[in-house]
Homo-oligomer: A and B are copies of this chain.
């Protein structure tokens, strides 16, 4: 069983994610310290006596902060981060800290009302056995842990947060550009398109800066988006050449490759496509 007396310092602990995790760790009996951007003078003493330091700061400051923090840490402490990309922070942590290192990505926002079925991605860094108590604690709190490599994580996230959000941005702004209001489309949309329209609309109810930061998070993500745009463009050329055969063959190859996923998608989405529009 985990000894419940660890000292945990969260850098960026006064942000909402920091606050949430401090509360959760304290509920397990640990002592937590929150370091905000104005608390750097106090940081040294807290970091020096920590068993675990978690860096939870905006993406563009992560590597610089990791370097500063690692210099103040005891070598036997664990260094971890919460950044939404994993390769670069993990490389920085391994470079500047000689002890145990682990990359974490909580796949949810700070406003969750329950930890149940919320996913935390874990990317192994160094001396995994020393971080085991942390993973056990996260599991005990109710989180679902997904182990994957940092590069697997970053590629998947570039699809989820890069390509997909960029498509949504492009579609919504194109509708505006063509003055085709989504409410008009709603009236004659089939259930599938209805769901897609509503999922598009909800993104435009959010902070544009947040989406700019997510979509443009790093050059790899932008490169993947550019590659997708080229792929799409190559298919536009085939449509223009009326090449139905190529379309049908490509479609069928993707279907075969997806395997059971297509039938599964059909079944699960049937459940949520009974959309009630009144509200």
Q: Answer yes or no: A38 CB below 8 A from chain B CBs.
A: no
Give the distance to chain B from A52, nearest Cβ to Cβ, in Å.
23
Q: Answer yes or no: A198 CB below 8 A from chain B CBs.
A: yes
Which residues on the B side are within 8 Å of A268 (C-beta)?
198, 275-277, 279
Q: Answer yes or no: A267 CB below 8 A from chain B CBs.
A: yes
Q: Answer yes or no: A37 CB below 8 A from chain B CBs.
A: no
Q: Answer yes or no: A185 CB below 8 A from chain B CBs.
A: yes
| CB within 8 Å of B: which A247-266 residues | 247-248, 250-255, 257-258, 261-266
Which residues on the B side are within 8 Å of A193 (C-beta)?
160, 164
Partner among B177, B188, B205, B262 whose Cβ is within 8 Å of the Cβ of A205: B262
Which residues on the B side are within 8 Å of A273 (C-beta)?
272
Q: Answer yes or no: A151 CB below 8 A from chain B CBs.
A: no
- State the CA gap A222–B240 with chains docked (Å): 7
Q: Report the stretch among A12-20, A96-104, A125-133, A167-175 that lies at the interface.
A: A167-175
Query: Provided the pairs A167-B167, A182-B261, A188-B121 are in contact, do residues A176 and B208 lie with their beta carbons within 8 angstroms?
Result: no
Query: Provided the pairs A146-B188, A261-B181, A262-B201 are in contact, do residues A231 and B174 lie with their beta carbons within 8 angstroms?
Result: yes
CB pair A254–B172 under 8 Å, yes or no, is yes
Partner among B121, B159, B171, B203 whose Cβ is within 8 Å of the Cβ of A163: B171
CB pair A107–B254 under 8 Å, yes or no, is no
CB pair A272–B195 under 8 Å, yes or no, is yes
Q: Report the stretch among A43-51, A69-77, A211-219 that lies at the interface.
A: A211-219
CB pair A264–B279 under 8 Å, yes or no, is yes
CB pair B188–A119 under 8 Å, yes or no, is yes
Chain A contacts to B: CB under 8 angstroms: 107-108, 119, 121, 146, 148, 152-153, 155-157, 159-160, 163-164, 166-167, 169-178, 180-185, 187-190, 192-193, 195-205, 208-209, 211-213, 215-216, 222, 224-229, 231-233, 235-236, 239-240, 242, 244, 247-248, 250-255, 257-258, 261-269, 271-273, 275-277, 279
What are 21 A-B pairs at a CB distance below 8 A?
A107-B190, A169-B235, A174-B232, A176-B254, A181-B257, A182-B258, A182-B261, A195-B199, A195-B272, A198-B268, A199-B269, A204-B258, A205-B266, A209-B244, A209-B248, A212-B247, A212-B248, A226-B239, A268-B277, A271-B275, A271-B276
Q: A159-B178, A229-B236 are in contact. List 18 more A-B contacts (CB 8 A).
A: A107-B190, A156-B184, A159-B175, A169-B251, A173-B235, A182-B261, A192-B203, A195-B272, A196-B199, A198-B265, A198-B269, A201-B261, A202-B262, A204-B258, A208-B252, A216-B239, A229-B233, A268-B276
